[in-house]
Amino acid sequence: MDNSKPAQAPAAAATAVRRADSVAPTYRFTNAVLADARMAAAHRRERHQFRSRRDGMAQALRLIVQADGFLGLVAYRLKVRLRARRIPVLPWIAHRVAVASGQISIADSAVVHPGVNIPNGHVVIIGNVEVQPFVTLHPWVWLGPIGGEDTGPTIGPMAVIGTGAKVLGSIEIGAGARIGTNAVVLDDVPPNTTVVGMPAQPVAE
């Protein structure tokens, strides 16, 4: 009889909570929003070098109104900050705003670093997932564990996850990797590699 899974599940859950709690307070809400605004503006081919902090916040407010999904991402950032300050109820409200405005649902155990681009919303992240800076998540992306596990993927910096892609399991997506539209990724993807298909396979260069 294999008793390893019951012992591993609580350990994995504890690791997820420690990871989220340790990373979340390391950045200020405004810094995270400004980093996200730079990514969003660059994606839209707009001015993304802000002249000052005030200018940056003005651009962020503009993006909240104009860019699909940006309000949802800002609401997620607010939820993270409120949780770090152990404020009750308000994190739940911020989460509901993220879901209602941008269809963005990100689990408390996930870590989404500042400087991420979600141009059109419709993103679900569940479980112990890490999304590093300069990542773009296109619509209908799903990141999470597989097979009843707690740990999902780590998405490396500058990766692009295409529309409808599913990245599942405790895997690593390397820096600069590109995941094709509707791909289902179940294995590690090396840096600067493009994968497509179900299950995803590297594209021949």
CATH number at residue 116: 2.160.10.10
Which domain range does residue 93 map to? 4-202
Tell me the pLDDT tens digit for each residue of 113-155: 999 999 999 999 999 999 999 999 999 999 999 988 899 999 9
CA distance 133 to 113: 5
Alpha helices in the chain, H assignment, sequence order: 4-23, 29-43, 53-66, 70-84, 90-102
The closest alpha carbon to 105, from 157, 154, 63, 69, belongs to 69
Alpha-carbon distances, residue 83 vs 20, 21, 79, 88, 103 (angstroms)? 10, 9, 6, 8, 20
Residue 191 has pLDDT above 90, yes or no: yes
Q: Does residue 204 carry a pLDDT above 80?
A: no
Contacts 24+ apart (CB under 8 A), 62-67: 63/37, 67/40, 67/119
The structure tokens 């902090």 sit at: 53
Mean pLDDT of 88-101: 96
Above 60 in pLDDT, residue 35?
yes
Q: Determine the average pLDDT of the residues in 5-32.
A: 54
Total tally of structural domains belonging to the chain? 1
Mean pLDDT of 192-201: 95
Please, what is the average pLDDT of the chain? 88
**Three-class DSSP category at 172:** strand
pLDDT of residue 205: 65
The pLDDT, as a whole number, for residue 26 is 58
Residue 7 has pLDDT above 90, yes or no: no
Q: What is the C-alpha separation between 134 and 26, in angstroms, rounded?
A: 17
Kindly state the tokens that stand for 88: 């009750």
How far CA 1 is from CA of 4, 5, 64, 147, in Å, comes to 9, 11, 54, 19
The 10s digit of each residue's pLDDT in 154-184 is: 999 999 999 999 999 999 999 999 999 999 9
**Strands 166-168 and 141-144, bridge-based pairing:** parallel
pLDDT for residue 68: 81
For residue 36, give the nearest of 7, 82, 78 by alpha carbon.
Answer: 78
pLDDT band at 67 (very low <50, low <70, confident <90, very high): confident
